[in-house]
Amino acid sequence: MKPVVLLIGRLPQVIGNVAQQLQHLPIEWLGAHDQAEVIHQLDAEPRITCVVMGAGLDDSVRGALIGVIANRRPDVSIHLKDRRSGPAGLVPFVERVVQPMVLEQLQPG
């Protein structure tokens, strides 16, 4: 069974585009772009291993989402993308996060 990563971003099409660009990885991608969707995904999918949040959301929204995620799923790590790398930096950031957090866990030990 594939590990699950939740991608959170300001625009749904951006998150969908990122998941599409990363479809070569053995990961199931879920997306959310507002608090209601984040709550739904966290409650509906117990296999979420980590959350990656894009930089397009306002800091107050990002802070509130961190609180929601930490409260509902203390077992899930949360990763915030920097703003400096811009939208083009999201895919490389996600790849850097999932490599040690998710993919290396799949390697036979």
SS3 assignment, position 27: coil
Residues of the domain holding 32: 4-106
State the Cα angle at 38 between 103 and 24, rounded to 5°: 30
Tell me the CATH number at 43: 3.40.50.2300
Does 109 or 15 have the greater pLDDT score? 15
For the stretch 23-77, pLDDT in tens is: 999 999 999 999 999 999 999 999 999 999 999 999 999 999 999 999 999 999 9
pLDDT at 76: 95
Q: Provide the number of structural domains found in the chain.
A: 1
Residue with tokens 């950031």: 93
Residue 105 pLDDT > 90: no
How far apart are the C-alpha atoms of 31 and 23, rounded to whole Å?
13
pLDDT at 43: 97
Residue 15 pLDDT > 70: yes
State the Cα angle at 100 between 4 and 59, rounded to 5°: 70
Residue with tokens 């895919």: 91
Residue 100 pLDDT > 90: no
